Structure 1
């Protein structure tokens, strides 16, 4: 997922989330759930495993994992967005717990607590990546697994180009502070960072997936809800409706018999604590 985000917004973007955005994300995040299920299959999670989901969102993937670990296992999901955790808690059960928390809060967990930790469509939102990986390594058991999916900072998809070009066309310039996913990395940077953290990489793959939406509005709603209300946040408000209309017009050019195609390059990493 990518958004335009100003430098100023990096410190406060969580405040833009609402109950309505959280609910819409729960309805529209099927692409992220699909990426997550693929990652979970690759992780080889077993019955009775203790699992941590960092950035669990509304809890759909954690619910899936709870069915794998069974009654002797346990899944804990944490997310800094209160509205999303409220939805996730409706999915809680004996072996599935949700708490408000972020990658900065991992100190709450004891050393060697988990068989598996994963971050699905979350890593590009984390500013302190090295510290987070160090903490994950601490709370993982020996030979415990870490899985993550994230976007590629350097991907050049049709929708990315459409958004960039629409902003430039309406504003007449590209905002200097505008960036895609504020803390995203390219594939080489991701691999180097994980290797530097001391994990042994079992799998590192980059896939280009396509998902389809019935309308351009659905795509924009996904961007808005998955970015917690920060989509096009650096655009002066009087120009945003014009930018949105330009994006919608261009998205229609991506329509196929299955709907409007949304391509996305996803990086999947499976690694192990030695």
Structure 2
């Protein structure tokens, strides 16, 4: 956070959005389920689930601890419909800057993707695969 402090002046505002670890969508639930099994679970990030997501209390604590006064924190619905599992995974890969399964070696990544796709396809309807979760949106002011 020191980079944010370097850029913002006292009283400067910070806005951010992140996924809510308490409200993961179906894709992340399936990802967690697949990665909990061998051989994927040999990697610490696989056991952690969504390592970069936080809860609302955690985010408020992090902002306060790092010199920000929280003005507003909201939990917002986050809904996406994807025609198939490939599209859902591609979207997630792009949204996470390639970190969706980036911690796995290439050979394991391909097999994990195949297993995740297989599980996700079980949830496809005529409208595609609906992924419902929540994101946290926060606005804070630098103290």
| TM-score in same-fold range (> 0.5) | yes
Q: RMSD of aligned C-alpha atoms? A: 2.6
2: CA distance between counterparts of 1:198 and 1:168? 36
1: CA distance between counterparts of 2:119 and 2:56? 28
1: CA distance between counterparts of 2:103 and 2:4? 30
Give the drift of 1:216.
0.9
* 2:33 corresponds to: 165
* 2:55 corresponds to: 186
Structure 2 gaps of 5+ residues are: none
* 1:147 corresponds to: 15
Q: Return the match for 1:196 from 65, 82, 87.
A: 65
Give the drift of 1:203.
1.4
Give the drift of 1:163.
0.9
Which shows bigger deviation, 150-159 or 263-272? 150-159
2: CA distance between counterparts of 1:132 and 1:214? 39
Indicate yes or no: 2:38 matched with 1:177: no
Is the CA contact (8 Å cut-off) linking 1:149 and 1:268 kept in structure 2?
A: yes
Give the drift of 1:148.
1.0
Q: Per-residue displacement from partner, 1:141-165 (whole Å, max 9, x unpaired)?
A: x4x4321111123444322221122
Indicate yes or no: 2:5 matched with 1:134: yes
Which of structures 1 and 2 has the bigger CA Rg? 1
Give the drift of 1:266.
0.4
* 1:79 corresponds to: none
* 2:110 corresponds to: 241
Give the drift of 1:262.
1.5
Runs of 4+ with deviation above 4 angstroms: 180-183
Give the drift of 1:206.
1.2
Give the alignment's TM-score, normalised by structure 1: 0.44
Give the alignment's TM-score, normalised by structure 2: 0.77
Instruction: Tell which has more relative contact order, 1 or 2 (C-alpha 8 A, sep 6+).
Output: 2
Is the CA contact (8 Å cut-off) linking 2:32 and 2:49 kept in structure 1?
A: no
Is the CA contact (8 Å cut-off) linking 2:80 and 2:131 kept in structure 1?
A: yes
* 2:85 corresponds to: 216
SS in 1 for 2:135: strand
